[in-house]
Structure 1
Amino acid sequence: MKWFGWEAIRSFHWAHPYFLYAIPAIPLVFLLRNAFHRKSRQFLTIPYEATETPDDWLTRLRYVQPVSMALALMCILLALARPQTITERTDRFSEGIDIMLLVDVSDSMLEKDLNPDRLTAAKRVARDFVRGRLQDRIGIIVFAGEAYSLCPLTTDYELLYGFLEDLKPDMIRTAGTAIGSALAVGVNRMRDSKGQSKVTILISDGDNTSGNLDPITAARLAKAFGVRIYTIAVGNTRRPGKNDSLRVVSAQVDESELQEIAAAADGKYFRATDNDALVKVFTQINKLEKVKFKNVVFREVTDYYRVYLYWAVVLILLAFATKSTFMGNILED
């Protein structure tokens, strides 16, 4: 009987709810039928014991047939309204973006113009950038006087956090800044990538001073393989003024070469002279490289109209079975 409870009725999604509006009319139909056929109904007068009262159980059994038919009609209407339960699940799919972080770990990255130093500030912001990505494959390449791949493209972000934390200048003993070599390693890692977009983010504070490959040539090679390059100049570019004649300003950033690299690979150049500026740079890159998602909705529909249809068949059979018994009027056709 749970199928006729209010909780069950309320929980259903009704495919054809307009059939439900006919249910209140069922008692009205039976009342009108009784009113119009009262005079034409045939009765057989049979004497009975005076002890019988109208409330006798035999008298009440005469209502089984019409009540059964009324309930059967109600069940038929419920079945026609087609009660259902619908379970929806939305899955998000994306091809993702392949991102390679090229991080300069030369000694100049220990300058204190960013807090606490250039390399540590870059590591912190890069970690936040990785945390903000979703379903993107990210890898890390480190370079100084030479370059090598520290972490291949992966979606294991916890692994990436560990590698970023371990970045130190003494990882590469060869002095210098081999930007061209770093770009070449990045392109080699990403040339066979199947991502919807391939991006390289170059973080450095100096110009190319070592390596066998010119950075501009490497940038053009990256463009040929569909790799876009964003370059970030980390550090203050202020040159000594008149009052700085006795002060040596070291580790200056060469912006022009980083600008040319970005332009050659359809990317963009950014300058980060302090921690806040570095955060804003990665925020801009995050907006530029948005992942395109496709939402797929799965709907599981379960029908319950058979339950009410079976009840209707049972009730109709009960009504027919009691029609020719003492529960019905045998004089009526």
Structure 2
Amino acid sequence: MDKEEETRAIRGALMAELDAINYYLQQGRLFNKEFIKKVHEDIAKEEITHFGEFLRLLYENSKEDFDYIIKGWNEASKLIGSNVDFPLKVENTIVNKNPEHPENSLESFVYNALQKRKIRKIGKIIKYDEESISVYEIEEKDSEIVQKNDSTTYNLQFLNVQFNIRSDLPLNKVFNVAYKAGLKYSNKEDLTLLSSHPLSLLKSGKRENKSDWEVPGNIANDIIKAKEEIESLGYSDITVILSPIIYSKLFRVYDKSGVYEYELLRHCCEIETSPLITGAVVISKDSFYILEKDEAIVEFLGKEGVYSTYLISGKISPYLIDKNACIIYE
């Protein structure tokens, strides 16, 4: 037998043991004599032990089966409403949300790439257990702020990247696939928070006209002006997100002073760059929340032929509590 045939045979033995367990228990109940019932029950328990032996063989021969078993266990736990750990310790099944992976494991390359996510570092992460967000209109008066009855519902964004790797190759020949998949997920998350979600920064923030940014000093002046405007509302902890092209223009001498524009900015706010925007976004971290129902995890989905399939997935949404605390220059 090859490995696949061995695995099928072990699964068949598991089925036979389950049939035997049910048979002895059902037949035992038909007898009137108590000692015959007891012997049947004892034999059924032995068959359960046999089932455990074959289960151990299955794990040794096909750990991939246990990825599905544990996935089903966890899904049933959610429906039952009781989270109980799977009674067997199985390595490399579903990656924990706060993983500590062995150095140079497949999952470590994915999570190293996920460290490239930029926009989540600007917001405040909040664990959010619902599938959607109800945003209510707000009316500001001189002496009060009123939350109106009218609301609009927005769904959290499900993000996923699937990748397939050859399981017959050593790690040093496949880690680039895992890393690129992590980078792709990072890009999707940044895009969701910046522009693609209805509540994203570029769709929720306040747009302002910029001056001529070809003139040295004007980029810094506009951003400092936006910072002061945001801080006048009571917000602090200001970050500016710049396109790489705009960022490169900061390394110009300002007004014959011998000082770069970059130097003017770095003392007043944090600076981030993103190729996903064309201008600049000035935002207070105090006003930007990131609602996360499902943190990014890596799951093993199964194996077909020589390919093993993995999925990176999560569920997230941006939430700007005050559009005036996010100023956009395009």
Q: Name the TM-score class by shorter chain.
A: under 0.3
With a CA cutoff of 8 Å and minimum separation of 6, indicate the structure with the bigger relative contact order. 1
- Return the structure number with greater strand share: 2
TM-score by length of 2: 0.20
